[in-house]
């Protein structure tokens, strides 16, 4: 395993706020053993604190689980029910990083995901996409990240077997993040 890191040119130390209008928190899950259903969460917030040493940086995010959308209203209502996310009892999912590790020219963000009251370690494979100025005089950074979790580990353990074998909903959930963050002015 290489410890060479991606060039972080322009990624200034400081607090970066995740821009929900230009960020996508998506997931993919197998459906009926033959296809994949994709969905997103529409409402979330988070910060990325870049340290002078990028390996000391941290991320915190909070997601409104009721904001889930798969572009199918009946399915979304079922996902919000006690069969899946139980949003009335567990309205928020959170992620808090614990460390950043260089891996093969990119990074892995180790952290803890809390969903349905269960906290488990989740590693995000992270790619830094660059930094640029926006038309309003701000500075923005882009990141892509992915992970895979097992929904059963978080108590999303509904079993819906199919006649002849298999299940309606797969256990493995692929998480895909496209994040744009805005550097905040230093507090004085």
Q: What is the pLDDT of residues 171-181, one digit of tens each?
A: 899 999 999 99
Task: Count CB-CB contacts under 10 A for residue 45.
Answer: 13
What does the pLDDT read at residue 8? 77
State residue 165's pLDDT score: 66
Q: What is the pLDDT of residue 4?
A: 40
Where the chain has pLDDT below 70, the residues are: 1-7, 161-162, 165-167, 187-188
Domains of the chain from N-terminus onward: 14-182 (2.40.128.110)
**pTM over cut 0.85:** yes
- pLDDT value for 2: 37
Distance (Å, whole) CA 170 – CA 186? 45
pLDDT at 1: 37
Closest listed residue to residue 172, CA positions, set 155, 148, 147, 156? 148
Q: How many CB atoms lie within 10 A of CB 131?
A: 17
């Amino acid at each position: 395993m290489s410890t060479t890191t991606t060039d972080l040119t322009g990624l200034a130390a400081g607090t970066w706020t995740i821009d929900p209008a230009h960020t996508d928190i998506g997931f993919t899950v197998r459906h009926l053993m033959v296809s994949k259903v994709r969905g997103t969460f529409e409402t979330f917030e988070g910060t990325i604190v870049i340290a002078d040493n990028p390996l000391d940086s941290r991320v915190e995010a909070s997601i409104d689980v009721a904001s889930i959308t798969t572009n199918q209203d009946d399915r979304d209502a079922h996902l919000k029910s006690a069969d899946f996310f139980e949003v009335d009892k567990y309205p928020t999912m959170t992620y808090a990083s614990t460390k950043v590790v260089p891996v093969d020219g990119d990074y892995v963000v180790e952290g803890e995901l809390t969903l349905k009251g269960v906290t488990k370690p989740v590693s995000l494979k992270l790619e830094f996409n660059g930094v640029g100025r926006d038309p309003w005089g701000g500075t923005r950074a882009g990141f892509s990240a992915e992970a895979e979790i097992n929904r059963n580990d978080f108590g999303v353990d509904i079993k819906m077997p199919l006649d002849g074998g298999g299940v309606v909903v797969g256990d493995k959930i692929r998480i895909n993040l496209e994040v744009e963050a805005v550097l905040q002015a230093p507090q004085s």
